[in-house]
Amino acid sequence: MKLTESDIADNYNDVWVLGEIVEGQVHKVTLELLGIAKELADKHTSKKCKVVCLLMGSKLVGYELELFHKFADRVIIVDDESLKYFNDAIYASVVSRLIKKYKPEILISGATSKGRSLMPLVAVKIETGLTADCTGLDIDKETGLLLQTRPAYGGNIIATIKCENHRPQMSTVRQGVFKSMEADKTRTGELISETVLEEEKNTRFTVLSEEAYSEDSKINLHDANVIVTGGRGVKNPEGFKIIHELAGAVKGAVGATRATIDSGWISYAHQVGQTGLTVQPEVYIACGVSGQIQHLVGMQSSDFIIAINKDPDAPIMQLADVAIVGDLFEVVPVITKLLSNY
Ligand SMILES: Cc1cc2nc3c(=O)[nH]c(=O)nc-3n(C[C@H](O)[C@H](O)[C@H](O)COP(=O)(O)OP(=O)(O)OC[C@H]3O[C@@H](n4cnc5c(N)ncnc54)[C@H](O)[C@@H]3O)c2cc1C
């Protein structure tokens, strides 16, 4: 429903983050989003916005402290056995009801599998807009609107999207796009407890269990300090052997371009880029990667980039801090050998 200007000005406040717990820990993307939520709240000078984290699940006692330390002013906890497993129908009903009750100005969530499933459902229920996979969030100084930036048309343009007449303004953001802020362990905040209504539990299906489904869940590019990525220049699946060896020597993880995944040389869990993961390691080593924009958006915020390519004019070579012109099959084993001796 289209809202009036005065309704938005008078009734909608606060920047909400949809929190997630994974394997007993607050998800890293939640902590990253609390940092950007604080920035947005501070910049939204026409309103006194609080940073609010909405956390849903079962047995959630004690998580609020870390969220306060990471700049949540208020934590709303919905702790119920019906939320033990992720049932998007129950979750969406609860989030939608709480949005109607508290009227947040902005709602952001990680573009995790849960966030990607839940946020569109909520946007439809609430009748507002949603910008998925944002790579930048800011507040328009003049209007106070959320500026939601994301690649569009296959990464060929960067679009900035505004949601003028509907609330909340909703975005999803992938892990690694924003850096988590240093915790302030002196901070506390307000804790609110909400419940699940009986009618919200009556969904057409029941989730009986949840489990990680493959070996791929062990590949963790987000936590790696060094990522060694192979592109089409590795030529075939066997070509990834030297990429794995270099990653092993530097205790890093193996990344890949979409071209290699589409060719079936390595699994999707390794993909870096617009339709893969966004990463920010200390060192990113791109081997035989051309550096098309769809790849760059996933790794360009790495602290230090090394590129190895036969073509000195490949776009990745312009971005790299160190660009090595050469055949990766000659260069990579030499680097591996040098580093293995340390
Ligand atoms: C909607 C959309 C989404 C996309 N999402 C992604 C994404 O998430 N991630 C992604 O990576 N791509 C993505 N792509 C694809 C992207 O546009 C490129 O096609 C892809 O990144 C190219 O992969 P590449 O660099 O491995 O291959 P190429 O572009 O073919 O580059 C290979 C490079 O290897 C070099 N080379 C060859 N042999 C050697 C050698 N022996 N030694 C050294 N260098 C050598 C070549 O000079 C070249 O620069 C997407 C595309 C679209 C349209």
Q: What is the CATH number of the domain that holds 241?
A: 3.40.50.1220
Give the Å distance between the CA of 295 and the centre of ligand 1: 7
CB 176 within 8 A of CB 35: no
My answer on whether 221 and 181 are in the same domain is no
pLDDT of residue 151: 86
pLDDT in tens, 65-94: 999 999 999 999 999 999 999 999 999 999
My answer on whether 192 and 240 are in the same domain is no
My answer on whether 312 and 197 are in the same domain is no
Give the Å distance between the CA of 325 and the centre of ligand 1: 17
| SS3 category, 165 | coil
Q: What is the mean pLDDT of each run of 10 residues along the chain (342 residues)?
A: 86 96 93 97 91 97 96 98 95 98 97 94 97 95 94 82 96 92 96 97 90 65 93 97 95 96 94 91 97 93 96 97 98 93 68
pLDDT of residue 212: 66
pLDDT of residue 152: 83
My answer on whether 116 and 197 are in the same domain is yes
Structure tokens at 252: 């890093």
CB 26 within 8 A of CB 17: no
State the DSSP code for 47. Answer: S
CB 245 within 8 A of CB 339: no
- Residue 182 maps to a domain: yes
Sign, CA torsion 34/39/44/47: positive
Expressed as residue numbers, the domain containing 313 is 215-340
Count up the domains in the chain and report the number: 2
pLDDT of residue 234: 98
My answer on whether 49 and 193 are in the same domain is yes
pLDDT of residue 216: 60
My answer on whether 138 and 115 are in the same domain is yes
| Ligand 1 residue neighbourhood (C-beta within 6 Å) | 154-155, 231-233, 257-260, 271-276, 288-290, 292, 294-295, 298, 308-311, 314, 327-329
State the DSSP code for 309. Answer: E
Closest ligand 1 atom to Cα of 273: 8
pLDDT of residue 2: 84
Q: What is the CATH number of the domain that holds 118?
A: 3.40.50.620
Question: Residue 111 burial (CB < 10 Å; 0-12/13-18/19+)?
Answer: buried
- Residue 207 maps to a domain: no
pLDDT of residue 217: 59
My answer on whether 129 and 13 are in the same domain is yes
pTM of the model: 0.75
pLDDT of residue 80: 97
For the chain, how big is the Rg over CA atoms in Å?
Answer: 22
For every residue of 27-86, DSSP letters joined together read -HHHHHHHHHHHHHHHH-TTS-PPEEEEEEESS-TTTHHHHHHTT-SEEEEEE-GGGSS-
My answer on whether 197 and 219 are in the same domain is no
pLDDT of residue 231: 98
My answer on whether 111 and 243 are in the same domain is no
My answer on whether 61 and 111 are in the same domain is yes
